[in-house]
Amino acid sequence: MQTNHIQRYEDNPIISIKDVKPTNNNMEVVGIFNCGGVFFNGKTYLICRIAEIAISKDKDILLVPTMTKNGFSMTKYNRNDSDIDLSDSRTVKDKNGRVLNLSSFSSLRLAISEDGYHFNVADEPCIDTDLAKESWGMEDPRVAKIENKFYITYSSVSKNGVGVSLAVTEDFITFKSLGMILPPTNKDTVLFPECINSKYYMLHRPSPSGKLGDSDIWLSDSTDLIHWGNHKHLCSSREGESWESMKIGAGSTPIRIPEGWLVFYHGVDKNERYSMGYLLLDYNNPYKILYRSKTPIMEPIMQYEKSGFFSETVFPCTAILFGNKIVMYYGAADSNICRVDIKLDTLLR
């Protein structure tokens, strides 16, 4: 179903597994999905998350790749082992629910398009894996253009947890890592593209692991993009039967529109179904929420969103404003990248 303001591209997905070359002959690409991107010098640049598993000759054995200084090391898990839990396709857990490993390894590669529909995906990662913090992979990039540089926030995953790292590029050819800016457990971090009252701002999503607190959206500020403070809780997941009862996380880089800052975010329900909503934040004081969508503006309803490496998922990371229209590139079922065009006037009406 399409609504008045949401127009999915009819030939979705626009980038899929077949467009991606595996890292080597022992690996199989299982997804190209959550991507951060911008429109720059007439081209669309997307930094895409590529997930790969190791090819196993024995169907009962799951081989999990992790990065070491000598290349990939494979950890073997027997799918019939009753001591491990593979019920979530993304992880290998023990019987107590502790994550022993991710089931795939993710890296970040650049995809470039002249027309916004046809993309070429690079064969190599654009940002190197840092073994100290990313031996389990790099995930879910977002890009913000700030003062003529492009800043990339992404999740760094290792056995020590998931934190948020920052990298910068001026040309999408050379990239410089600026280190981890938020320690575990944190992800879903988007930078505001402009300073507000001489400070940089970001939205992020800490996940308290105990029984106190929820996985909600927070807002922080900084004077140098590296050191962040003034942490404040911005908005909560909604309780009960809601489409966003379990957790929420910022999706795309905030867009400045006349009404304020427009931010698309994902909400997860109790069945781990990922849908999309939006927030409108005050332009001068982003701590003030002017509007929050009550119902999802997009849910996983198409086959390519309902079924994949992690099913029932739409995951927005890129929204680009062209006149009165937003062009969004989103991850579908942790398998593909899709495009949806969103008409602003009907969305905000």
Closer to ligand MAN by Cβ: residue 34 or 318: 34
Site string for ligand MAN, 273-292 (x = CB under 6 A): -x------------------
**Rounded least distance, CB 49 to ligand MAN, Å:** 7
Give the pairing of strands 314-322 and 289-292.
Answer: unpaired
Closer to ligand MAN by Cβ: residue 137 or 254: 137
Burial class (CB in 10 A: 0-12, 13-18, 19+), 25: exposed
Which of 135, 153, 313, 335 is the binder for ligand MAN (CB under 6 A)? 313
Which of 12, 16, 23, 34 is the binder for ligand MAN (CB under 6 A)? 34
Q: Determine the interface stretch with ligand MAN among 219-227, 287-295, 309-317, 337-345 (rule: CB under 6 A).
A: 309-317
Q: Quick one: which of 275, 309, 261 has its CA closest to 139?
A: 309
**Rounded least distance, CB 140 to ligand MAN, Å:** 5
**Rounded least distance, CB 274 to ligand MAN, Å:** 6
331 binds ligand MAN (CB under 6 A): yes
**Rounded least distance, CB 51 to ligand MAN, Å:** 9
User: By Cβ distance, which residue is nearest to ligand MAN?
Assistant: 310
**Rounded least distance, CB 115 to ligand MAN, Å:** 26
105 binds ligand MAN (CB under 6 A): no
**Rounded least distance, CB 309 to ligand MAN, Å:** 8
Task: Tell me, by CB under 6 A, how many residues bind ligand MAN.
Answer: 10
Which of 140, 244, 269, 305 is the binder for ligand MAN (CB under 6 A)? 140
Q: Determine the interface stretch with ligand MAN among 13-21, 172-180, 282-290, 308-316 (rule: CB under 6 A).
A: 308-316
Which of 218, 264, 278, 315 is the binder for ligand MAN (CB under 6 A)? 315
d(CA 58, CA 288): 54
Which of 252, 334, 336, 339 is the binder for ligand MAN (CB under 6 A)? 334
**DSSP bridge pairs for 151:** 144, 168
**Rounded least distance, CB 311 to ligand MAN, Å:** 9
**Rounded least distance, CB 338 to ligand MAN, Å:** 13
Which 160-199 residues touch ligand MAN, going by CB under 6 A? Answer: none
93 binds ligand MAN (CB under 6 A): no
243 binds ligand MAN (CB under 6 A): no
Burial class (CB in 10 A: 0-12, 13-18, 19+), 348: middle
136 binds ligand MAN (CB under 6 A): no
- Whether cis (ω within 30° of 0) applies to the bond prior to 286 is no
Tell me which residues touch ligand MAN (CB under 6 A): 34, 90, 139-140, 274, 310, 313, 315, 331, 334
